[in-house]
Amino acid sequence: MTTFTHLFEPLHIRGKRLKNRIMSSGHDTSIPTDNLVNDRLIAYHKARAEGGVGLIVLQVAGVHDSARYTSHVLMATDDACIEGYRQLAETCHAHGTVVLSQIFHPGREIMESSDGLLAVAYSASAVPNERFRVMPRALDQGMIDEIVQGYADAARRLHQAGLDGVEVVASHGYLPAQFINPRVNRRSDGYNGELEQRLRFVREVIAAVRAATSADFIIGLRISADERDAEGLTESESLAAVQALQSTLDYVHIVAGTSASLGGAVHIVPPMAIEAAYLAREAGTFKASLSIPLFVTGRINQPQEAELILARGQADVCGMTRALICDPQMPNKTDSGRAEDVRACIACNQACIGHFHRGLPISCIQHPETGREQQFGQLHPAAVRKRILVAGGGPAGMKAAAVAAARGHQVTLYEASAQLGGQVLLAQLLPRRAEFGGASTNLQREMQRAGVEVVRNTRVDRALVEREQPDLVIVATGAEPYWPAFERGGELQVVDAWQVLRDEVTLGRSVMVVDWRCDWIGPGIAERLVRAGHQVQLAVNGTHCGESLPLYVRDQMAGELHKLGIAITPYTRLYGCDDNTVYLQHTASGEPMIFEGIDTLVLCQGHQPVDSLADELKGLVEVKRIGDCLAPRTAEEAIYEGLKVAWTL
């Protein structure tokens, strides 16, 4: 059935059979409680195993008490962890999925601690981390031995739990990489010197893990092919390291980036600004230099991309982690000739790594069922088939319509304009955000599959509802730009972000963009206008530009804005304007901030609900409001509310 012949070709490693070349690579879910596997995590992975993934590498498991890099990290430091892992492995094995676990020590890369106090961090040497501003202690021999033993004990427990193997995390500048990297490892003992000495720590780890487990237990190594940081491991250093280690390993798994700097960390979960399958070239180089299987992960968001990498012989297995967070059924759909139905990840980073960085269980903006499998895992047919009218074809309305129809309701969605998508249509016009449009394409496909009738160019009003007589109206009419009250004493041109994005206005040369939401819109408009030849200043309400954004999206964007030389002023609120001056106020001091010589003021001041329909329908029919017409937020809340409302009908 499949035309993805390379993707669905089995691979055998140490006697274990991977039924296909699709891997869910290790990703911290923030789902565990008490640092142990729980039922919610089992349900999360069960959904992916059921969806046909060949290999699941479980999230990092700390190997030593000093490895607690977040408060919710899984730990494999006590036999109490074995039972949870056993249930998780059995659940995935029942679907023919091979299960490994990452074994992990972050070294100096400590993000937070469970009690909020700063932890004592350890590394190869006392070389500070830039991103978390940690000054580590250099490990002494006693502690090195203890940590190596920790890796072995963790592997023994995971082996006992029935897992198929482990992956030693030497990627992203974590402890093994800190030993390998000559700029971080400044020791004067047998762990430093030439490459072989710098590999001593990781060699000891691999040997101890091998000794603590059986001959059929897989041991892989994850490493950044290039840490993409001035102080990070380079491609030639990483390549030399894995060439030297390969005889002790079953596979090498490459990624990019490092946790140690903001620029390097962007590659830990590369946002949509970074092109799909961007590590294919590096994978090809590594594969050609190794005689063991090569896995690659990084922005491989579609089965077509993975098939191409495999067909070109650039890798043996493709990590498709967010692709599976977004669509757990992706492997089965692809294998059964339904690749067109795959809900492609758009690398927005909002609900997956975005949640993780806020200490929350991960999910997906396009598939809010992710991380909530216990609640939304099984679609239940509606008890009574209702006629449902959805007003508004943005993300909220489309998700509600798709789920309600999939449950068996008769659903008609009305959109006032010619195109479905709502604000997604504008969001995709921002620089390097075109892929965001995929959210609309995917939802349209979901509606089509579920049998939703779509009526375009039709605004819903009371007369239409009286005519159609639905059992329920879901109002998802979205929002419009908010224009705050401010003193306006002259002829300065004032426009809003939507007018700019829709090319409805001709702007002056010198532009000031005032950004209240601190999200994608203000900086995106600023960048667009600079590229169009305007002289632009960006004033943001927050402490920094992009304050509301997922971190890697923010930092990738900050780099671009810096390259363009856009002046950014933080801590601002709009106060007023006259002929060619914009008056702002410092949000902390209240002092005025005066910007002269401005031709155009662009308002990025958020949105206000468009919900008059709900009032118009009062007394006529049951109404439910969802998405921005309830309260203007993001696509994530809109789609989740669409799911929730449709679930209860």
Contact residues for ligand FMN, defined by CB under 6 A: 25-28, 59-60, 102, 169, 171, 222, 255, 268-269, 297-300, 319-323, 352-353, 356, 362
Taking the complex as a whole, how short is the minimal distance between the CB of residue 300 and ligand FMN, in angstroms?
A: 6
Strands 16-18 and 11-13: antiparallel
Strand-pair partners of 584:
574, 593
- Which range of residues in 101-109, 322-330, 388-396, 641-649 is near ligand SF4 by CB under 6 A? 322-330
Identify which range of 226-234, 280-288, 348-356, 641-649 contacts ligand SF4 by CB under 6 A. Answer: 348-356
Among residues 347, 473, 551, 623, the one that binds ligand SF4 under rule CB under 6 A: 347
How many whole angstroms separate alpha carbon 462 and alpha carbon 460?
Answer: 7
- Report if residue 325 touches ligand SF4, rule: CB under 6 A: yes
Smallest distance, ligand SF4 to C-beta of residue 403, A: 17
What is the torsional sign of CA 436, 437, 440, 446?
A: negative
Least distance from ligand FMN to the Cβ atom of residue 418, Å? 34
The residue (of 325 and 643) whose beta carbon lies closer to ligand SF4 is 325
Please report, as a single letter, which amino acid is at residue 586: H
**Closest distance of CB 349 from ligand SF4, Å:** 5
Which residue lies nearer to ligand FMN by CB, 169 or 630?
169
In the chain, the largest separation of any two C-alpha atoms, in whole Å, equals: 84
Of the two residues 174 and 520, which places its CB atom closer to ligand FMN in the complex?
A: 174
The partner in contact with residue 59, picked from ligand FMN, ligand SF4, none with C-beta cut-offs of 5 to 8 angstroms by kind, is ligand FMN
Neighbours of 313 (CB within 10 A): 13
* Enclosing H/E stretch for 179: helix 175-180
Considering the complex, state which of residue 434 and residue 455 has its C-beta at the smaller distance from ligand FMN: 434
Q: How far apart are CA 389 and CA 182, in angstroms?
A: 64
**Residue 110 CB, nearest approach to ligand FMN (Å):** 14
Rounded to whole angstroms, the Cα distance separating 539 from 583 reads 11
Q: Is 330 in the site for ligand SF4 (CB under 6 A)?
A: no
Which of these ranges, 15-23, 138-146, 280-288, 363-371, lies near ligand SF4 under the rule CB under 6 A? 363-371
For residue 183, give both structure tokens.
Answer: 């700029």
171 contact, one of ligand SF4, ligand FMN, none, CB 5-8 Å limit per kind: ligand FMN
364 contacts which partner out of ligand SF4, ligand FMN, none, CB within 5 to 8 A by kind?
A: ligand SF4
Q: Which is nearest to 477 in space by CA: 371, 373, 257, 632?
A: 632
CA distance 331 to 349: 21
State the minimum distance, in angstroms, from the CB of residue 268 to ligand FMN.
Answer: 6
Closest to 521 measured CA to CA, from 632, 363, 417, 399: 632
Please count the residues of the chain.
Answer: 649
Task: Name which of ligand FMN, ligand SF4, none residue 356 binds, using a CB cut-off of 5 to 8 Å depending on partner kind.
Answer: ligand FMN
Q: What is each CA distance from 284 to 279, 294, 347, in whole angstroms? A: 9, 9, 23
Does residue number 314 form part of the binding site for ligand SF4 (CB under 6 A)?
no
The answer for residues whose C-beta is within 8 angstroms of residue 617's C-beta and 6 or more apart is: 462, 465, 473, 475, 623
Indicate the residue among 103 and 346 with the shorter CB distance to ligand SF4. Answer: 346
**Residue 349 is a binding residue for ligand SF4 (CB under 6 A):** yes
Which residue in the block uniquely carries the two structure tokens 């603590």?
Answer: 212
State the DSSP string of 461-529.
-HHHHHHH--SEEEE---EEE-----EE-S--EEEEHHHHHTT-S---SEEEEEESS-SSHHHHHHHHH
How far apart, in whole angstroms, are the C-alpha atoms of residue 511 and residue 587? 21
Rule CB under 6 A: is residue 53 a binding residue for ligand SF4?
no
Q: Could you say which of 170, 276, 320, 345 contacts ligand SF4 (CB under 6 A)?
A: 345
Does residue 346 bind ligand SF4 (CB under 6 A)? yes
Tokens 């009032």 sit at which residue?
Answer: 615
| Cβ proximity to ligand FMN, 269 vs 629, nearer residue | 269
- Burial class (CB within 10 angstroms; exposed 0-12, middle 13-18, buried 19+) of 247: exposed
The site partner of 27 among ligand SF4, ligand FMN, none (C-beta below 5 to 8 Å per kind) is ligand FMN
Does position 348 bind ligand SF4 by CB under 6 A? yes
Neighbouring C-alpha atoms within 13 Å toward the C-beta of 583: 13
- Rounded to whole angstroms, how far apart are CA atoms 11 and 243? 21
Q: Which does 388 bind (CB under 5 to 8 A by kind): ligand SF4, ligand FMN, none?
A: none
Q: How far is the CB of 330 from ligand FMN (least distance, A)?
A: 11
* Tokens, residue 158: 């995971």
Among 33, 487, 581, 601, smallest CA distance to 41 is for 33
* 599 to 106, 144, 500, 535, 602: CA distances (angstroms): 51, 63, 14, 10, 10
439 vs 604, which CB is nearer to ligand SF4?
Answer: 439
Contacts with ligand SF4: how many residues (CB under 6 A)? 14
Q: How far apart are CA 566 and CA 537, in angstroms?
A: 6
Closest to ligand SF4 by CB, 171 or 442: 442
* Partner whose footprint covers residue 47, from ligand FMN, ligand SF4, none (CB < 5 to 8 Å by kind): none
Q: With CB cut-offs between 5 and 8 Å by kind, which of ligand FMN, ligand SF4, none does residue 60 bind?
A: ligand FMN
Q: Could you give the C-alpha distances from 277 to 192, 298, 299, 431, 432, in angstroms and in order?
A: 35, 6, 5, 20, 16
Q: Is residue 326 involved in binding ligand SF4 (CB under 6 A)? A: yes
CB 415 within 8 A of CB 390: no
From ligand FMN, ligand SF4, none, which one binds at residue 426 (CB under 5 to 8 Å depending on kind)? none
Is 365 near ligand SF4 (CB under 6 A)? yes
Minimum distance of ligand SF4 from residue 322's CB (angstroms): 4
Among residues 370, 387, 411, 289, the alpha carbon closest in space to that of 640 is found at: 370
User: Which residue, among 15, 54, 149, has the nearest Cα to 157 in the 3D structure?
Assistant: 149
- Smallest distance, ligand FMN to C-beta of residue 354, A: 8
Supply the minimum distance, in Å, between the C-beta of residue 425 and ligand SF4.
17
Which residue is listed with tokens 């142990």?
36
Q: Considering CB distances under 5 to 8 angstroms, the limit depending on partner class, which of ligand FMN, ligand SF4, none binds residue 49?
A: none
Task: Tell the smallest beta-carbon distance from residue 70 to ligand SF4 (Å).
Answer: 18
Under 8 Å between Cβ of 390 and 637:
no
Choose from ligand FMN, ligand SF4, none: what does 351 bind? Cβ within 5-8 Å by kind: ligand SF4
Q: Name which of 67 and 473 has its Cβ closer to ligand FMN.
A: 67
Nearer to ligand SF4, 280 or 351 (CB): 351
Contact 299, 270 (CB under 8 A): yes
Task: Give whichever of 144 and 268 is closer to ligand FMN, judged by the CB atom.
Answer: 268
**Distance (Å) of CA 121 to CA 65, 83, 418, 613:** 11, 29, 57, 57
364 binds ligand SF4 (CB under 6 A): yes
- Kindly state whether residue 221 participates in binding ligand SF4, applying the rule CB under 6 A: no
Q: Which is nearer to ligand SF4, 168 or 276 (CB)?
A: 276
Chain positions contacting ligand SF4, by CB under 6 A:
322, 325-326, 345-352, 364-366
